[in-house]
Amino acid sequence: MNRLEHWQQVYNSKPPNRLGWYKPRLETSLEWIQGLELPRDAPIIDIGCGASTLVDDLLDREFQAITALDISEQALDVVRERLGDKASGVECLLRNIECRDRLESLVQQVVDERRCTTADIDDGRVAR
């Protein structure tokens, strides 16, 4: 089973809130993003978004250039369905993060709540 098949199976087997890593709110990520004091039109990408509500919270805070990226179409479908009409404010990309073809052109900052780091794409610095 390849990586794509694995994640398709995961999202087909359980509702998102029953997945071990699911959190209803990504408070740490939201705090970091707010702490960066980015302009509302700054591009923000949620890499490996799964079914998380980070994009919802960013839309509620009036961010305008939001991208949700995941390897699983089912995960992106959950996001689209949950957002309803607001889904037009989020670009959903079905990609494997190992394919970095557009990453650097999409973002200024990467925030990874699981690793507690921010990476500044513009100059390659990583702060821990």
Domains of the chain and CATH, by start: 3-127 (3.40.50.150)
pLDDT band at 23 (very low <50, low <70, confident <90, very high): confident
Average pLDDT, stretch 63-91? 91
What local confidence, expressed as pLDDT, does residue 122 receive?
Answer: 43
For residues 91-112, one letter each, b for 16 or more C-beta atoms within 10 angstroms of the residue's C-beta and e for the rest, the string is ebbebeeeeeeebeebbebbbe
Indicate if the pLDDT at residue 47 is higher than 80. Answer: yes
Measured from the Cβ of residue 40, the count of other Cβ atoms closer than 10 Å reads 10
Mark out the alpha helices in 3-93 (DSSP H runs): 3-13, 27-35, 54-60, 73-83
What is the Cα Rg of the chain in Å?
14
What local confidence, expressed as pLDDT, does residue 77 receive?
Answer: 92
Q: What order of strands is seen across the sheet that includes strand 65-70?
A: 43-47, 65-70, 90-94
Per-residue tokens: 127: 């702060």
pLDDT band at 18 (very low <50, low <70, confident <90, very high): confident
